[in-house]
Structure 1
Amino acid sequence: MADRPPAEVEVGPGLVRALLAEQCPVVDGIGPVSAMPVELVAQGWDNSMFRLGEDLAVRLPRRQLGAALLRNEQAWLGQVADRVDVPVPVPVFAGRPGAGYPWHWSVVPWIGGRAAGTVDRTDRRRLAEPLGRFVTQLAVPAPPDAPVNRFRGVPLAARDAVVDERLDLIRHPRTDDLRSVWDEARSAPAWDGPPLWLHGDLHPFNIIVDDSPLPRLRAVVDFGDMTSGDPACDLAAAWLVLDPEGRETFRHTVDAARGPGEDAWRRARGWALVMSTSMLADSDDDPVFARLGADIVDEVLVDR
């Protein structure tokens, strides 16, 4: 299998400080930031995240693909925030290339808490209802100039070849059952409505919860894959995030709001397989995501 995509540009606290000094020495409502501590807190496939002081974070792409995705966040997240009742990290400053760094970057609010991926699935059940509301609030018709993402929200037939390759690669002991799940999802009628807004990557490490024993939803983050298309793509959160009991609550919440229909849920399980096989195939150097991919596959098979 393969490692996660490598960084094309190395970023560190020194670069963050240089960019801030050059372009954003003061943040409205916060004040001067040059003396604030800078700490690397997350390194994803596309971006690095640095905490800046107590209340801010700096988000910098680590590869060209991530640079384009971050521009989507800068352009559209303000509109998303107006529609949903869950906090999202709308940039407070949109940086541009500088200090030897080639891409745009963002200063965003720091959202405290922990990733839902660090919490047992049984303890995520409280997230099911608010997450279902978030998905339905987000999924409204998108404008013609909404971001294009050829990997999310598209007809499942467009992902057929890559899923087939990944299933061969990961050699899961229940590969035949996984192929049956995929065939069932792919055979569902394609979405024929207008393209709807999508987060595009609703796995549990993009969902922030509080520190209580039974955690509550605090925020949804990382909108780099945001696009428009088949709403089943975001309904995959039922398997990405939740256990069977949580899925039932999530589905009830979504069905009560907009009733996407059985075909959408069949496609949604297919989208969960798309995302989990990607994690398994490309995370040899990332044990957290490898475990997440395996966990999601298990959930997909639970409902078989």
Structure 2
Amino acid sequence: MTGMPSVAPAPPPADLPVDLRRIELLCARLRPEEDADLERIVWSIAKLPRAEGWDNALWPVGALGGRELVLRVARRDISKALLGREVTVLRRLRGLGTQLPMQLPTVLALAEDAMLVEWIDGVTAADSDRATRARVAGDLALMLATIHSGPAPEVGRNPVRGVPLSTRADAFEADLERADLPPDLSRRAQDRWHAGLAAAPWQGRELLLHGDPHPGNVVVPVRGMPGPATLIDWGDTTRGDPASDLGGMLLHVPSDELLQSYRAAAAWTGIDDEEVWDALVARSWAWATRMALSLVTAYAADLGLGAAGHRLLAS
């Protein structure tokens, strides 16, 4: 490969202030979620964030019942709406009253452009070993089947998830050129992409989607810690074609067997129709290829997400 990055990409510059003064103001304005007792929080606001991503910063602010709390605060203006979507969907999923195959982030309170959440200990699926990735992928198939099969609340549309594949054609071609793949992998990527474009488009109801269930958005407990993995970062949640979610799922373990596990658990109208299913499979592999190209152009091959992209393209 040529021109591949050697480090993880830096997030875009923040256009909202993320400093100690803003964090203190937001903590003073927190509105508790139902059943959340903020009076028991032991406040200890750190001087610096613990982590910072593309859209949000995670700032330690204290503990509740021995669990570390962080304020997840928007660092870019375009991120504000994402937090609102996330809260809407997490409330809906928690209100289903059913045991989900994976855990959800625990939101305790809200403030303007921020949410108070429990810190989730663990490592991402992208940085886990092969056996762990396989186990988590199976859980994710069941989780997505549950999410897709339920009611879809009104949430804002994501312009790059759940949409017709044809709207992502320019991005695919640009990333394919940038990836500079060996000829055989380039042909395989193009074949999968064009097979997805040729498949029948999604005609069913608009399903609720996570939006971005790639291996970096699943946190796995480290050895000795109890509980299932947690599906995080619901800011890209949207409604539409489930193929884009399934494409993200295939980045965990690129296999048709994983898609079949999803099918066995899903209950949306049309899932049993062979023509609908075959078209969905083709679009899902096309989405996975599109996402994998994006990862290998952004991350080094020895980093978790870069490695996930390379595994998909070589499968």
| CA shift for structure 1 position 205 | 1.7
The question of whether the paired residues in 1 share the 8 Å contact of 2:210 and 2:238 is answered with yes
> 5+ unaligned residues in a row in structure 2: which ranges?
4-8
**Aligned match of 1:255 in 257, 263, 278?**
263
Q: 1:122-141 deviations in whole A, cap 9, x for unaligned?
A: 43111132211100110036
- After TM superposition, the structure 1 = structure 2 runs for residues 1-304 of structure 1, keeping only pairs within 5 Å, are 4-21=11-28, 23-24=29-30, 28-31=36-39, 33=41, 35-38=43-46, 40-54=49-63, 55=67, 56-83=69-96, 85=100, 86-96=102-112, 104-140=113-149, 142-143=151-152, 145-173=154-182, 174-212=185-223, 217-242=228-253, 244=255, 248=257, 250-258=258-266, 259=271, 261-281=277-297, 283=298, 287=299, 291-303=303-315
SS of alignment partner, residue 60 of structure 2: strand
Please provide the CA RMSD for this pair.
2.9
| CA shift for structure 1 position 266 | 1.6
| CA shift for structure 1 position 224 | 0.3
Query: Could you say which residue in structure 2 is the equivalent of 1:99?
Result: none
SS of alignment partner, residue 73 of structure 2: strand
Distance, in Å, in 2 between the alignment partners of 1:146 and 1:26 is: 22
SS of alignment partner, residue 185 of structure 1: helix
> 5+ unaligned residues in a row in structure 1: which ranges?
97-103
- The range that moved more, 54-63 or 220-229, is 54-63
TM-score, with normalisation over the residues of structure 2? 0.80
The question of whether the paired residues in 1 share the 8 Å contact of 2:301 and 2:307 is answered with no
SS of alignment partner, residue 180 of structure 1: helix
Q: 1:121 to 1:216 in 2, by over 3 A?
A: farther
Q: 1:288 to 1:222 in 2, by over 3 A?
A: farther
Runs of 4 or more above 4 Å deviation: 1-4, 141-144, 213-216, 287-290
Distance, in Å, in 2 between the alignment partners of 1:215 and 1:190 is: 41
Distance, in Å, in 1 between the alignment partners of 2:136 and 2:281 is: 19
SS of alignment partner, residue 168 of structure 1: helix
- The range that moved more, 160-169 or 170-179, is 170-179
